[in-house]
Amino acid sequence: MWDLQRRKKIHAYEGHDGHGVFSRDSERLLTTTAVVFDVTTGTARTGPLAKSGTDDVVASPDGRFVAALRPSGWLELWDGTARDRPARLPSSLVPGGARYGDRLGAMAFSDDGRVLAVAVNDDAVQLWDTEARLPLGEPLTLTGQRIDALSFDGTTLHTVTGDRRQVLDLAQDRLAATVCRRVGRDITAQEWHTYVPDAPYRSLC
């Protein structure tokens, strides 16, 4: 572990593998082997995330969440300290789902931590609402080609495929305007009650 400002090595750890991610305050390094390294003291501890193995981890920029990808395909949402798991995220990717067995890849949180994006089978992206703990629809096929990396800029999701970049604006007001423009009409009362039965009807366009 290096201090880039002082340009010197501050800690070295033997016998550890995997890869990891720093917390927002850069005080901890969380690895895929569920070891948490304290940057200040140099100590290491193994947390509850260690159970079942972890293929990848990513931390939200706001420090509230850590997402852990399990070898089973389950995606788990943990608190920012990786001590408590408030949710396992459902979707068509879990056992019994239509896309169970599809490979999960790169992960990224939106800047406010409210949206989690994960590459699916290399050529699509599944979005989750981290507040509701629910998927935002089915995986989106953006390019039909391998997605090498994901990144957010505010509410805009960027995907990289080779030397090509795809941009998806996820701001709710602009998403609604885009849908209305493409469909050419507002949602009907019947459609509303079919898909949003627990809320009173309102115009979206």
Question: Do residues 31 and 37 touch, judged by C-beta distance below 8 A?
Answer: yes
Q: Which tokens belong to 152?
A: 């957010």
Domain count, the chain: 2
Same domain for 199 and 147: no
Same domain for 163 and 118: yes
Same domain for 131 and 76: yes
For residues 39 and 27, give the distance between their C-alpha atoms in angstroms, rounded to a whole number. Answer: 5
* Rounded average pLDDT per 10-residue block, the chain, 205 residues: 90 80 83 84 81 81 88 82 83 72 83 88 82 82 77 86 80 71 83 80 82
* pLDDT for residue 138: 78
Q: Kindly report the number of other CB atoms within 10 A of residue 156's CB atom.
A: 15
Same domain for 175 and 128: no
Residue 104 CB contacts under 8 Å (≥ 6 apart), including other chains:
55, 69, 73, 75, 93, 118, 119, 120, 126
* pLDDT for residue 52: 66
Same domain for 181 and 158: no
Strand partners, 159: 150, 166
* pLDDT for residue 143: 64
* Secondary structure (DSSP) of 118-174: EEETTTEEEEEETTTTEE-SSPEESSSS---EEEEETTEEEEEETTEEEEEE--HHH
Same domain for 203 and 116: no
* pLDDT for residue 144: 67
Residue 126 sits in a domain of what CATH number? 2.130.10.10
For residues 9 and 42, give the distance between their C-alpha atoms in angstroms, rounded to a whole number. Answer: 12
Same domain for 176 and 98: no
Q: Kindly report the number of other CB atoms within 10 A of residue 183's CB atom.
A: 11
For residues 35 and 162, give the distance between their C-alpha atoms in angstroms, rounded to a whole number. Answer: 32
Same domain for 187 and 158: no
- Whole domain around residue 188: which residue ranges? 171-205
Same domain for 135 and 35: yes
Same domain for 102 and 135: yes
Same domain for 204 and 142: no
Q: Give the pTM.
A: 0.74
* Secondary structure (DSSP) of 52-76: T--SEEEE-TTSSEEEEE-TTS-EE
Q: Which tokens belong to 75?
A: 């995606």
Instruction: Classify residue 154 as left (phi > 0), alpha (psi -120 to 50) or beta.
Output: left
